[in-house]
Amino acid sequence: MGVDLGITRLATLSDGRYLENPKPLEHSLERIRTIQRTLSRKRFLSKNWFKAKTRLAKQHEHVRDLRRDLFFKLGALLSQEYDLLVLEDLNTQGLIQKGVTRTRRMRLYDSSFSELRRCLEWVFLKRGKTVLAVSAYNTSRECFLCGRINQNLTLEDRVFLCPHCGFTIDRDLNASLVLLKRSGWVPSAVPVELRPLPPLPSLGLKKRRQGGALKQEAPPFMAGWLTQKAL
């Protein structure tokens, strides 16, 4: 399973599914700023200052918890369906520093690619499965079909059109397929359309009873796809 990470779609999978970016920090930003303004008006170290400080800490904790819940559920879903996870070896801090605008830098920080990678790796390795990190260089510009580079592709282009062989596909899906190809696994078929993963709280994980306890179970329709389709 190749996974391309992004700002608009947090994760685009090589089987054609994708996860929208919930942007928890961006959606909580107004409330955080309101609490920060309230905190700035309180007398330093007063009882009301500590109350506002606690509220601010809880709001940041809520954002972190939402991210981690999403990341671990995504890891549980993918690790139940696949034995191999291929990720980009991203320099997240470098991406944030190179962000053209303040909004882009904030959204890169909000996406927390490094934490997402750690959570996915932890879940896969815990289940005895394989995680590979491959070079992220030119994954968006390299054609999955012919392997040549589209030098004219920009950040605004959402569709990849190869000027050499004419291969046309969603930009992020192409990148996830290129990652999978670089790891040595080449699917014999390319997904024809993108399909969104269900949102939280389920993320497509189904609960079933086993021994009196509830257990998370992923939908079986893509199980074994990688090993069956790989050469």
Phi, psi for 92 (deg, rounded to 5): -60, -45
Q: Which of 4, 110, 142, 170 is catalytic?
A: 4
In this prediction, residue 51 has a pLDDT band, given cuts at 50, 70 and 90, of very high
Look at residue 212 in the predicted model and tell me its pLDDT.
Answer: 39
Look at residue 18 in the predicted model and tell me its pLDDT.
Answer: 93
Q: Is the pLDDT of residue 56 over 70?
A: yes
CA distances from 43 to 34, 54, 68, 214 (A): 17, 15, 34, 49
Q: Which of 81, 88, 110, 142 is catalytic?
A: 88
Is position 110 annotated as part of the catalytic site? Answer: no
CA distances from 218 to 12, 140, 197 (A): 17, 29, 12
pLDDT in tens, 109-145: 878 888 999 999 999 999 999 999 998 888 989 999 9
Look at residue 55 in the predicted model and tell me its pLDDT.
Answer: 93
**86 lies in which domain range?**
2-229
- The average confidence (pLDDT) of the chain is 83
Residue type, 5: L
Q: Is the pLDDT of residue 229 over 60?
A: no
pTM for the full predicted model: 0.79
Look at residue 96 in the predicted model and tell me its pLDDT.
Answer: 72
How many beta carbons lie within 10 A of that of residue 122, not counting itself? Answer: 14
How many beta carbons lie within 10 A of that of residue 84, not counting itself? Answer: 19
In this prediction, residue 99 has a pLDDT band, given cuts at 50, 70 and 90, of low
Integer Cα distance of 62 and 84 in angstroms? 31
Q: Which residues contact 108 (CB under 8 A, 6 or more apart)?
A: 7, 92, 95, 96, 99
Phi, psi for 10 (deg, rounded to 5): -60, -40
Q: Is the pLDDT of residue 188 over 80?
A: no
What's the total number of domains in the chain? 1
Percent of the chain with pLDDT over 90: 46
For residue 212, the Cα-to-chain-centroid distance in whole angstroms is 33
Q: Which of 15, 81, 110, 172 is catalytic?
A: 172
CA distances from 179 to 72, 74, 133 (A): 21, 18, 9
pLDDT in tens, 1-38: 899 998 889 999 999 999 998 888 888 888 999 999 99
Q: Which residues contact 199 (CB under 8 A, 6 or more apart)?
A: 20, 22
Q: Is the pLDDT of residue 179 over 60?
A: yes
pLDDT in tens, 192-227: 889 998 876 777 666 654 443 334 433 333 333 333
Is position 172 annotated as part of the catalytic site? Answer: yes
Integer Cα distance of 124 and 128 in angstroms? 6
Look at residue 219 in the predicted model and tell me its pLDDT.
Answer: 35
Residue 199 near residue 208 (C-beta atoms within 8 A): no
Is position 4 annotated as part of the catalytic site? Answer: yes
